[in-house]
């Protein structure tokens, strides 16, 4: 539905990836099932209560299904099932039986709910339709992924195709697919519905990211400083965070240093704690070199803030 906002599809085959972690995490099947059911209901609500009445579409395989349903007057529920399930079957060996079965049941459940469950048409306002349709669809896919399944086969399709087109990354293939989908939507639905559909896609992407990562999305921070031990102490003693120290050497700095030994500090914080971390480091060393980057998932170590006394 909106694959660019989900973890990189190459992560489906990476045991350390967030999606792989969801698939392999020893959660109870009941919990996974509840996540998938909630995801199916949310996605179906977004589609039937918002998008379909206004002739908007989403991205990915679901968007293709909606375009075909609009162009040829075919049942959307049948198209979602028919177009998605072959990708699940093709990816069976790549993703594992458990993931394939969960995804098949999730997609089948989405098709069933779309076919038999009546949802109210919430609003006729086009902007509200585009935004909130995307919100419910993004939340639905995110919940299903937290249950170890997907409701759209786009990621799987791009992963399989990328094995044959080595010059293109999976993310490039997904982008190309969605450009084509929304380009065709201009011809089939008209310019205005296609533009609103893009807004739906972006809203869904943001909500999916929030559902998967939450407000406590982790950020990895690497700090290079002449006062690395003081930086370590302020992070561990003032902020209550764990750190990892590793050795490095200076390459070429502003002052022309070359080959000087440095202890490099690495820590993981939430994005809400990031301003406090940067301020604390700047107090110790205003010239510290700080690099930060998003971490999709983390476990072990001191991830949660320790109580300080």
CB-based contact 139:207 (threshold 8 Å): yes
Quick one: pLDDT at residue 127?
95
Considering the domain architecture, whether residues 172 and 193 belong to the same structural domain is answered as: yes
- What are the two backbone dihedrals, phi and then psi, of residue 245, each rounded to the nearest 5 degrees? -105, 130
Q: pLDDT averaged over consecutive 10-residue blocks of the chain (309 residues)? A: 47 45 58 93 96 91 92 93 87 78 92 94 94 95 88 77 67 80 92 94 88 76 91 89 85 65 87 84 90 74 53
| Same domain as 91, residue 157 | yes
Looking at 179, 213, 247, which one is the last position of a domain? 213
Q: Are residues 122 and 238 in the same domain?
A: no
Number of domains in the chain: 2
Asked whether residue 157 falls in the same domain as residue 226, the answer is no
Do 140 and 238 share a structural domain?
no
289: domain CATH number? 3.30.70.120
125 and 247 part of one domain: no
| Pair (202, 279) in one structural domain | no
End position of a domain, from candidates 194, 213, 232: 213
pLDDT for the residue numbered 254? 61
* Residue 249 and residue 183 share a domain: no
| Residue 36, in any domain of the structure | yes
51, 149: one domain: yes
pLDDT of residue 182: 93
Q: Does residue 302 lie in a domain region?
A: no
Q: Are 10 and 170 in contact (CB under 8 A)?
A: yes
Same domain? 113 vs 145? yes
Evaluate the CA torsion angle 152, 153, 158, 159 in order and state its sign. Answer: positive
pTM of the model: 0.71
Q: Evaluate whether residue 113 is within a structural domain.
A: yes
Domain that holds residue 264: 218-295
């Amino acid at each position: 539905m909106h694959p660019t906002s989900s973890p990189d599809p190459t992560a489906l085959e990476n045991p350390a990836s967030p999606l792989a972690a969801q698939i392999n995490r020893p959660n109870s099947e009941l919990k996974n099932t509840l996540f998938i059911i909630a995801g199916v209901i949310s996605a179906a609500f977004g589609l039937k209560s918002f998008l379909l009445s206004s002739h908007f579409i989403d991205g990915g395989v679901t968007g293709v299904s909606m375009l075909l349903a609009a162009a040829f007057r075919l049942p959307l529920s049948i198209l979602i099932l028919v177009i998605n399930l072959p990708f699940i079957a093709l990816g069976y060996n790549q993703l594992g039986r458990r993931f394939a079965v969960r995804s098949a049941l999730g997609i089948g459940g989405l098709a069933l709910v779309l076919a038999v469950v009546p949802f109210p048409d919430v609003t006729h306002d086009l902007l509200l339709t585009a935004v909130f349709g995307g919100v419910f669809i993004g939340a639905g896919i995110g919940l299903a992924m937290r249950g170890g399944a997907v409701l759209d086969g786009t990621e799987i399709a791009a992963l399989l195709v990328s094995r044959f087109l080595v010059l293109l990354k999976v993310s490039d293939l997904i982008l190309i697919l969605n450009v084509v989908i929304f380009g065709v939507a201009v011809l089939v639905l008209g310019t205005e519905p296609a533009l609103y559909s893009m807004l739906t896609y972006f809203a869904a992407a943001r909500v999916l990211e929030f559902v998967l990562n939450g407000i406590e999305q982790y950020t990895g921070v690497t700090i290079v400083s002449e006062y690395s031990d003081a930086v370590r102490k302020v992070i561990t003693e003032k902020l209550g965070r764990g750190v990892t120290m590793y050795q490095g050497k200076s390459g070429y700095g502003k002052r022309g240093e070359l080959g000087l030994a440095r202890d490099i500090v690495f820590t993981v914080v939430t994005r809400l704690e990031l301003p406090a971390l940067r301020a604390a480091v700047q107090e110790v060393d205003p010239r510290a070199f700080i690099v930060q980057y998003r971490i999709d998932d983390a476990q072990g170590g001191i991830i949660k803030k320790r109580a300080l006394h």
